């Protein structure tokens, strides 16, 4: 899974199929009454393996024992991936109900103490904990990851480059974590501040331009004993060596299934359009990291309530226009792929912030999110 055989990675991408899709959704495991985090991943995993082989092979662990991930596996296209994920979600939520556990889908848990969350016992996460210590312990976060097949590894690297300025926009759309450590952080995505800002080799990558340059970077990390597996490169967009995909990792977990599906569709469309732009030679200049950083901060702090910077003309525009702008850019591929973008009027962070402003407590605000998650992910419904 984490091989650093770079020649094999080249072969994997050479055999990849364009626009296959994989969806990975992370959930917090909760006490159904108190909504506290509870370390029950191993228990739920073992129960799934014992009674539901499909669910058992679709569950994954993610660092802490109070977190569970459900993965679609490879879908031949976006619609296939959604169908696969909906069935797996339904089974996961049914299992959680039978085991008297609740599941939540926000970027952070509002009041959990990271010092009380045990790391799951796998070789990979033992290595992560040993290498990162506090940085790993502190990372109690939940996100949505989407994989899109891209044939040819050099092309995949160039697709990643073109997605760099898009990542803050996707983050703003997905923002869903105003609380951290029992207080209102004042941010729309505290998850990004807690995880992306702390982990090494994380956030917006430099532009690489080619597989040769990216390979030299990985070889440097290996030679200097900085990494021993490619998944220790935690960039918010990366070529995934095992699957032959471009993996987008920037987004907060979404409180409703419909939002998660629309966001996944938007990501697929962005990757597909970037690949088409590469193929057609559409002019592109890599923005400097310091410029993309301005939009990253705005997405973290204000989400869709703020303003973003059009990096081409150096002018501000309302962040509420992001979906419209991305929809216009991706319209050709979305029409071909049948990807519809249907978002709620306000995203998760905005809904939580309105509740906070109206005087709701963290417990009341989070309880509303948990209800949204239970009502939508446990059924095949969309916004």
Strand 21-30 vs strand 59-62: parallel, antiparallel, or unpaired? Answer: unpaired
Output the CA–CA distances (angstroms, integers) from residue 224 to 7, 219, 220, 227, in the order listed: 20, 8, 6, 8
| CA–CA gap between residue 106 and residue 369 (Å, rounded) | 8
- φ, ψ of residue 239 in degrees (nearest 5): -75, 130
179 sits in which H/E element: strand 179-180
3 state SS of 48: helix
Counting Cα atoms < 13 Å in the Cβ hemisphere of 40 gives 19
Q: How many residues does the chain have?
A: 383
| 124 pLDDT tier (thresholds 50, 70, 90) | confident
**pLDDT tens figures, 150-205:** 999 999 999 999 999 999 999 999 999 999 999 999 999 999 999 998 999 999 99
CA angle in degrees (0–180, nearest 5) for 77-82-85? 125
Model pTM score: 0.96
| CA–CA gap between residue 239 and residue 244 (Å, rounded) | 7
pLDDT at 2: 55
| Whether pLDDT at 333 is above 70 | yes
Please report which residue ranges of 15-77 form alpha helices under DSSP H: 41-51, 53-58
**pLDDT tens figures, 213-257:** 999 999 999 999 999 999 899 999 999 999 999 999 999 999 999
23 sits in which H/E element: strand 21-30
- φ, ψ of residue 110 in degrees (nearest 5): -65, -35
Axis-axis angle for helices 362-377, 257-280 (nearest 10): 70
- Residue 234 pairs in a beta bridge with 202
| 383 pLDDT tier (thresholds 50, 70, 90) | very low
- φ, ψ of residue 318 in degrees (nearest 5): -60, 135
| CA–CA gap between residue 93 and residue 371 (Å, rounded) | 13
pLDDT at 1: 44
pLDDT at 3: 66
3 state SS of 206: coil
Fold (topology level) of 6-377 = Creatine Kinase; Chain A, domain 2 (3.30.590)
- Residue 344 tokens read as 């709620």
| CA–CA gap between residue 27 and residue 70 (Å, rounded) | 8
| CA–CA gap between residue 152 and residue 371 (Å, rounded) | 43
Please report which residue ranges of the chain form alpha helices under DSSP H: 6-14, 41-51, 53-58, 78-98, 123-132, 134-137, 153-163, 167-174, 190-191, 211-223, 257-280, 289-302, 322-337, 348-357, 362-377
- Residue 149 pairs in a beta bridge with 245
Output the CA–CA distances (angstroms, integers) from residue 125 to 49, 59, 129, in the order listed: 21, 16, 6
- Residue 46 tokens read as 């073992």
Q: Where along the chain do its domains lie?
A: 6-377
3 state SS of 378: coil
Contact predicate 224/160, CB 8 Å = no
pLDDT at 58: 97
| CA–CA gap between residue 28 and residue 374 (Å, rounded) | 12
| Whether pLDDT at 381 is above 80 | no
């Amino acid at each position: 899974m984490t091989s650093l055989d770079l020649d094999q990675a080249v072969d994997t991408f050479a055999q990849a199929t364009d626009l296959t899709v994989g969806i990975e959704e992370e959930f917090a495991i909760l006490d159904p009454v108190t909504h506290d985090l509870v370390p029950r991943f191993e228990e739920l995993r073992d129960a799934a393996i014992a009674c539901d082989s499909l669910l058992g092979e679709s569950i994954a662990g993610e660092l802490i024992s109070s977190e569970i991930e459900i993965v679609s596996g490879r879908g031949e296209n976006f619609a296939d991936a959604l169908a696969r994920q909906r069935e797996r979600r339904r089974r996961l939520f049914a299992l959680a109900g039978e085991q008297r556990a609740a599941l939540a889908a926000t970027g952070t848990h509002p009041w959990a103490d990271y010092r009380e969350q045990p790391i799951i016992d796998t070789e990979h996460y033992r290595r992560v904990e040993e290498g990162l210590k506090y940085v790993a312990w502190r990372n109690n976060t939940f996100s949505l990851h989407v994989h899109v097949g891209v044939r040819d590894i050099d092309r995949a690297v160039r697709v990643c480059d073109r997605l760099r300025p898009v990542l803050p926009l996707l983050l703003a759309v997905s923002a869903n974590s105003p609380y951290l450590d029992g207080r209102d952080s004042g941010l729309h995505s505290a998850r990004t501040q807690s995880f992306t800002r702390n982990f090494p080799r994380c956030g917006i990558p430099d532009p690489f331009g080619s597989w040769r340059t990216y390979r030299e970077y990985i070889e440097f990390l290996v030679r200097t004993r900085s990494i021993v597996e490619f998944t220790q490169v935690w960039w918010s967009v990366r070529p995934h060596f095992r699957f032959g995909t471009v993996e987008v990792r920037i987004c907060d977990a979404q409180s409703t299934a419909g939002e998660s599906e629309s966001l996944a569709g938007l990501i697929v469309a962005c990757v597909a359009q970037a690949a088409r732009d590469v193929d057609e030679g559409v002019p592109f200049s890599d923005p400097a990291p310091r410029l993309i950083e301005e939009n990253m901060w705005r997405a973290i702090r204000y989400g869709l309530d703020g303003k973003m910077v059009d990096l081409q003309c150096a002018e501000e525009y309302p962040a509420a226009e992001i979906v419209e702008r991305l929809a216009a850019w991706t319209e050709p591929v979305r029409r071909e792929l049948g990807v519809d973008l249907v978002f709620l009027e306000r995203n998760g962070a905005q809904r939580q912030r309105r509740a906070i402003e109206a005087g709701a407590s963290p417990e009341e605000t989070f309880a509303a999110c948990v209800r949204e998650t239970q009502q939508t992910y446990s059924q095949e419904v969309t916004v």
